[in-house]
Structure 1
Amino acid sequence: MTETVGGSAKKTAARAAAKPAALKVQRVYTTEGRHPYDEVTWERRDVVMTNWRDGSVNFEQRGVEFPEFWSVNATNIVTSKYFRGAVGSEKREQSLRQLIDRVVKTYVGAGKEHGYFAGEQDAEIFEHELTYMLLHQVFSFNSPVWFNVGTSSPQQVSACFILAVDDTMESILNWYREEGLIFKGGSGAGLNLSRIRSSKELLSSGGTASGPVSFMRGADASAGTIKSGGATRRAAKMVVLDVDHPDVVEFIETKAREEDKIRALRDAGFDMDLGGTDIVSVQYQNANNSIRVSDEFMHAYESGGDFGLRARQTGEVIERVDAKELFGKLAKAAWECADPGIQYDDTINDWHTCPESGRITASNPCSEYMHLDNSSCNLASLNLMKFLGDDGRFDAVTFAKAVELIITAMDISICFADFPTEPIADTTRKFRQLGIGYANLGALLMATGHAYDSEGGRALAATITSLMTGVSYRRSAELAGIVGAYDGYKRNATAHQRVMRKHAAANDLIRTYHANDSSVHKVATEAWQQALEIGAKNGWRNAQASVLAPTGTIGLMMDCDTTGIEPDLALVKFKKLVGGGSMQIVNQTVPRALKSLGYQDEQIEAIVEFIAEHGHVVDAPGLRREHYEVFDCAMGERSIAPMGHVRMMAATQPFLSGAISKTVNMPETATVEEVEEIYYQGWKLGLKALAIYRDNCKVGQPLSAGKGANKGAEAKTETVVEYRPVRKRLPKKRPSQTVSFTVGGAEGYLHAGSYPDNGLGEIFVKLGKQGSTLAGVMDAFSMSISVGLQYGIPLEFYVSKFQNLRFEPAGMTDDPDVRIATSVLDYLFRRLALDYLPYDKRAQLGIFTADERSAQVAGEYGSAPSSDVDLEGLRGSVEAAPAVEAAVETTAPKQVGSSTELLELHLGKAADAPLCMTCGTKMRPAGSCYLCEGCGSTSGCS
Structure 2
Amino acid sequence: MTVLSEQTRIGIQRWFTVEGVHPYDTVDWSRRRALITGAGGEVVFEQDGVEFPESWSQNAVNIVSQKYFRGRLGAEDREWSLRQVIDRVAGTISRWGAEDGYFADGAETAAFADELTHVLVSQKASFNSPVWFNIGVPGALPQSSACFILSVEDSMESILNWYTEEGLIFKRGSGAGVNLSRLRSASEHLSGGGRPSGPVSFMRGADASAGAIRSGGTTRRAAKMVVLDADHPDIGEFVWCKAREERKAQALHEAGFDLSFDGVDSTSLLYQNANNSVRVSDEFMQAALAGGKWDLTARTTGAVLETVDAAELLDQIAEAAWQCADPGLQFDTTINRWHTTPAAGRINASNPCSEYLHLDNSACNLASLNLLSFLGADGRFDVTAFRAAVRVVFCAQEILVGRSHYPTAEIGCNAVAFRQLGLGYANLGALLMTMGLPYDSDAGRATAAAVTALMCGEAYRTSAQIAARMGPFEEYAANRADVLRVLNMHRGAVEGIEGRHVPEELASAAAEVWDEACEQAEATGVRNAQATVLAPTGTISFMMDCDTTGIEPDLALRKAKSLVGGGSLTIVNRSLAPALERLGYGAAEIAGILAHVESTGSVLGAPGLAREHYPVFA
C-alpha displacement at 1:251, in angstroms?
Answer: 0.8
State the 1:512 CA deviation.
Answer: 2.0
Distance in 2 of aligned mates of 1:584 and 1:251: 36
Alpha-carbon distance in structure 2 between the residues aligned to 1:24 and 1:365: 33
CA contact (8 A) 2:171 2:216 kept: no
What is the deviation of 1:228?
A: 11
User: AA paired with 1:137?
Assistant: Q
Which residue among 5, 12, 16 is the counterpart of 1:29? 16
Asked if residue 533 in structure 1 is aligned to residue 519 in structure 2, the reply is yes
Question: Counterpart in 2 of 1:810?
Answer: none
| SS of equivalent to 1:513 | helix
Counterpart residue number, 2:163 = 176
Aligned residue among 429, 434, 440 for 2:427: 440
* Counterpart position of 2:57: 71
For residues 86-115 of structure 1, what are the alpha-carbon distances to aligned partners after superposition, in whole Å with 9 as ceiling and x for unaligned?
333332222111111111111111111111
* Aligned residue number for residue 399 of structure 1: 386
Aligned length: 611
345, 348, 360: which is aligned to 2:347? 360
Equivalence for 1:548: 534
Q: Secondary structure at the match of 1:85?
A: coil
Contact residue 375 and residue 427 of structure 1 kept, 8 A: yes
Q: Out of 402, 410, 429, which is 1:415 matched to?
A: 402
What do the CA deviations read for 1:736-764 (whole angstroms, capped 9, x no partner)? xxxxxxxxxxxxxxxxxxxxxxxxxxxxx
Relative to structure 1, is the Cα distance of residues 583 and 179 closer, same or farther in structure 2, using a 3 angstrom cutoff?
closer
Letter in 1 for 2:210: A
Whole-angstrom distance in 1 between the partners of 2:498 and 2:229: 36
Distance in 2 (alpha carbons) for counterparts of 1:156 and 1:297:
38
Classify 1:90/1:475 alpha carbon distance in 2 versus 1 (closer, same or farther; 3 Å). same
- CA offset at residue 421 of structure 1? 1.4
Matched, 1:99 2:85: yes
1:383 aligned onto 2:366: no
Which of 123, 131, 154 is the equivalent residue of 2:109? Answer: 123
Shift of 1:287: 1.3
Within 1, Cα distance between the matches of 2:97 and 2:285? 47
**Distance 1:24-1:530 versus aligned 2 partners, 3 A rule:** closer
2:264 counterpart residue number = 277
1:112 aligns with 2:98: yes
Mapped partners of 2:337, 2:53: distance in 1: 46
1:440–1:560 contact (8 Å) kept in structure 2: yes
Q: CA deviation at 1:229?
A: 12
Measured after TM superposition, the shift of residue 444 of structure 1 is 0.5
Q: 1:618 to 1:276 in 2, by over 3 A?
A: closer
Q: Conserved in 1, the CA contact under 8 Å of 2:147 and 2:175?
A: yes
Instruction: Tell me what 1:292 maps to.
Output: 279
3-state DSSP class of the match of 1:60? strand
Contact 1:194 / 1:241 at 8 angstroms: preserved in 2?
yes
Q: Which runs of 5+ in 1 are unaligned?
A: 1-14, 576-580, 633-942
- Normalising to structure 2: TM-score of the pair? 0.95
Provide the C-alpha distance between the structure 1 equivalents of 2:383 and 2:433, rounded to a whole number of angstroms: 18
User: Does 1:141 find its partner at 2:127?
Assistant: yes
Q: 2:186 aligns with which of 176, 186, 199?
A: 199
| SS of alignment partner, residue 292 of structure 1 | strand
1:614 and 1:359 map into 2 onto residues whose CA distance is 50
Identity %: 58
Distance in 2, matches of 1:630 and 1:228, equals: 37
Q: Provide the secondary structure at the position in 1 that maps to 2:140.
A: coil
Q: Offset of 1:64 from its aligned partner?
A: 1.8
Match in the other structure for 1:304? 291
Instruction: Give distance in 1, aligned partners of 2:33 and 2:49.
Output: 5
Cα RMSD of the aligned pairs, angstroms, is 2.2
Greater C-alpha radius of gyration = 1
C-alpha spacing 1:273/1:573, structure 2 compared with 1 (3 Å): closer
- 1:456–1:512 CA contact under 8 A, matched in 2: no
| One of 508, 514, 522 as aligned partner of 1:522 | 508
Inter-partner Cα distance in structure 2 for 1:24 and 1:399: 15
Q: 1:77 to 1:274 in 2, by over 3 A?
A: closer
> Residue 540 of structure 1: CA displacement?
0.6
CA gap of 1:336–1:25, structure 2 versus 1, over 3 A, is closer
Q: Is the contact between residue 586 and residue 608 of structure 1 (CA under 8 Å) also seen in structure 2?
A: no
Deviation, 1:336, is: 1.5
CA shift digits 1:259-308 (9 cap, x unpaired): 22222222222222343222333221211111101111111001101011
2:461 counterpart letter in structure 1: R
Gaps (5+ residues) in structure 2? 562-566
Q: Secondary structure at the match of 1:525?
A: helix
The answer to whether the aligner puts 1:87 opposite 2:100 as a matched pair is no
CA deviation profile, 1:61-81 (whole Å, cap 9, x unmatched): 222221111111111211222
Contact 2:12/2:391 (<8 A) preserved: no
Match of 2:476 in 1: 489
Do the aligned residues in 2 keep the contact of 1:110 with 1:415 (CA within 8 Å)?
Answer: no
8 A contact 2:68–2:133 mirrored in 1: yes
C-alpha distance in 2, partners of 1:91/1:230?
18
Tell me, in whole angstroms, the C-alpha distance in 2 between the residues paired with 1:485 and 1:254.
44
**Contact 2:170/2:216 (<8 A) preserved:** no
**Equivalent residue letter for 2:263:** G
Deviation per CA, 1:688-745, whole angstroms, max 9, x where unpaired? xxxxxxxxxxxxxxxxxxxxxxxxxxxxxxxxxxxxxxxxxxxxxxxxxxxxxxxxxx
Asked if the contact 1:198–1:245 (Cα under 8 Å) also holds between the matched residues in 2, the reply is yes
- 1:831-867 deviation line (CA, Å, top 9, x unaligned): xxxxxxxxxxxxxxxxxxxxxxxxxxxxxxxxxxxxx
Name which of 33, 44, 57 aligns with 2:31.
Answer: 44
The residue that corresponds to 2:564 in the other structure is: none
CA distance in 2, matches of 1:433, 1:272: 39
- Give secondary structure in 2 for the equivalent of 1:216: helix
**1:485 touches 1:540 (CA, 8 Å); kept in 2?**
yes
Asked which structure has the greater RCO (Cα within 8 Å, sep 6+), the reply is: 2
Which of 239, 248, 262 lines up with 1:252 in the alignment? 239
| TM-score (structure 1 length as normaliser) | 0.63
1:24–1:118 contact (8 Å) kept in structure 2: no
Q: Which amino acid aligns with 2:397?
A: M
8 Å CA contact retained: 1:244, 1:309: yes
SS at match of 2:126: strand
**Measured at CA, do residues 586 and 192 of structure 1 come closer, stay the same or move farther in structure 2, by a change above 3 Å?**
closer
